[in-house]
Structure 1
Amino acid sequence: MKEEFIKEVSKKDDLKIISMAVKLPSGAIEVITNTQDLENKARYYAKTYDDDFRLKHNTDIQIVGYMVV
């Protein structure tokens, strides 16, 4: 999924929204919506999460879905 995210973000000429569904260690799903500084946010997600979209510093946290507009 991370590879698809990177491809999709790189194809967008004018990003407006990046929303991420993040599974927390408790099992709860948190939705994070970014509307500013999107290129840096996309780089952050690509750098901070591994190939399985698990947080490198805590693999119990994982991105389980996303939306790019």
Structure 2
Amino acid sequence: MENKTLKEKFIEEMKVASIPKLITVAVKLPSGAIETITNTEDTVTKALYYTDKYDEEFRLKHNTDVQIVGYMIV
């Protein structure tokens, strides 16, 4: 059984959702705090941003101390 990364699961769920009504991500900041971000408009564009700007471990490419640690797609 293949273990998929969080980013791989996100990409798969986005394909199923097509045009989601809502995307919420939990982002771990360099301080260790968890920030939640909810997007209800331009969700496809935002999903593309997350897949482009974050690496395979869902770490922000220009600051790897920032990491998506969870998400919800509706």
Task: Judge conservation of contact 2:19–2:44 (CA < 8 Å) in 1.
Answer: no
Change beyond 3 A, Cα 1:13–1:47: closer
Change beyond 3 A, Cα 1:28–1:58: same
Runs of 5+ unmatched residues, structure 2: 1-5
- TM-score where L is the length of structure 2: 0.91
Percent of counterpart pairs with the same letter? Answer: 62
Equivalenced residues, count: 69
Runs of 5+ unmatched residues, structure 1: none
Q: Which residue of 2 aligns with 1:30?
A: 35
Query: Is 1:56–2:45 an aligned residue pair?
Result: no
- TM-score where L is the length of structure 1: 0.97
CA RMSD of aligned residues (A): 0.7
**1:44 corresponds to which letter in structure 2?**
Y
**2:66 corresponds to which letter in structure 1?**
I
Matches within 5 A, 1:1-69: 1-69=6-74
